[in-house]
Amino acid sequence: MQTAIHLDDGLAIPRLGFGTFQLSGAQAYDSVMTALDAGYRHVDTAQGYANEAEVGRALRDALVDRDEVFVTTKLLPSNAAADDVRTSTEQSLRELDTDRVELLLLHWPAEHVAPLAETLEAMTKLRESGLARAIGVSNFPSAMLARAFDLAPLVTDQVEHHPFLAVTPIERVLQQHGGFLTAYSPLAKGEVAEDSTLRSLAADHGVSPAQITLRWMLQRPGVVTIPKSGTEERIRSNAQVYDFELSDDEMASIDALDRGHRLVDPANGPDWD
């Protein structure tokens, strides 16, 4: 199993990242410090999480070289106009105390703010000037994603994905364009811990349902996953997913849990596939 996805330009994306949504202040700093100590080398933040400064302080203080860590941030939709793409990214870099992010995403479709072509062109320029090593989108359904791939050199669509929510049409577009899927809310915001199939597999392997879920994602090519926890023990155990393996039958039994169960669906969100 590959622990990273390697792009043609030499950029490597660690497939297990650490999510930071709803972590703020000291808890954000402590959690990212713990995550880096536990072996995560990929941290996911966003302008909208109001924790870029804490993430940046942890990146600076951790006993891991900044070059070893893949950092993602996301543009607020309100910053989708070209000038705001640049100025807000520069502000994010100041908050993160870094000269570049490895990945810059548009957090949600934002055509009510600026045409998609304008936003993606401004993001492409940031990539060309080195402020972002790679660019992508988030919360794009498949048809909108296909249109975005025609406009810019994107590498990913970060969308909700867990055992209870398959995203097959999006994965198909990503495969067609050589992109990878970034699965957010991979633990279904903790609901995986209550599922009987996942609990039974967890008991069989002597691990947690969360570890079973993350392992299921990592055994599928082209998937990056970014679980969040603010609890030290869970931050550490969620990263222990490399010393057991799921059989084909076990993988299929998790595939079968899909029931279109979407947890993140704001009123102004896109029409999903």
Nearer to ligand NAP, 128 or 264 (CB): 264
- Given the residues 29, 40, 49, 184, the one annotated as active site: 49
Q: Restricting to residues 42-71, which ones interact with ligand NAP according to CB under 6 A?
A: 44
Quote the least distance from Cβ 151 to ligand NAP, whole Å: 20
Q: Restricting to residues 97-126, which ones interact with ligand NAP according to CB under 6 A?
A: 107
Token pair belonging to 79: 């910053």
Q: Is 77 in the site for ligand NAP (CB under 6 A)?
A: no
Contact letters for ligand NAP, residues 221-240 (x by CB under 6 A): -----xxxxxx--x--xx--
Phi, psi torsion values for 151, nearest 5 degrees: -105, -20
Active site residue 49: yes
- Spatial distance between the Cα atoms of 118 and 175, rounded to a whole number of angstroms: 25
Nearer to ligand NAP, 2 or 231 (CB): 231
Q: Restricting to residues 124-163, which ones interact with ligand NAP according to CB under 6 A?
A: 138-139, 158
- Spatial distance between the Cα atoms of 114 and 111, rounded to a whole number of angstroms: 5
Tokens 């209870």 sit on residue: 164
Relative to beta strand 18-19, strand 180-184 is: unpaired
Figure out which of the listed residues 208, 217, 224, 246 binds ligand NAP, where binding follows CB under 6 A. Answer: 208
Nearer to ligand NAP, 47 or 98 (CB): 47
Residue at 190: amino acid letter: G
C-beta of residue 122 within 8 angstroms of C-beta of residue 82: yes
Q: Is 24 exposed, middle or buried (0-12, 13-18, 19+ CB in 10 A)?
A: middle
- Spatial distance between the Cα atoms of 14 and 65, rounded to a whole number of angstroms: 15
The residues carrying an active-site annotation are: 49
Interface positions with ligand NAP (CB under 6 A): 19-21, 44, 107, 138-139, 158, 184-190, 193, 208, 210, 226-231, 234, 237-238, 264
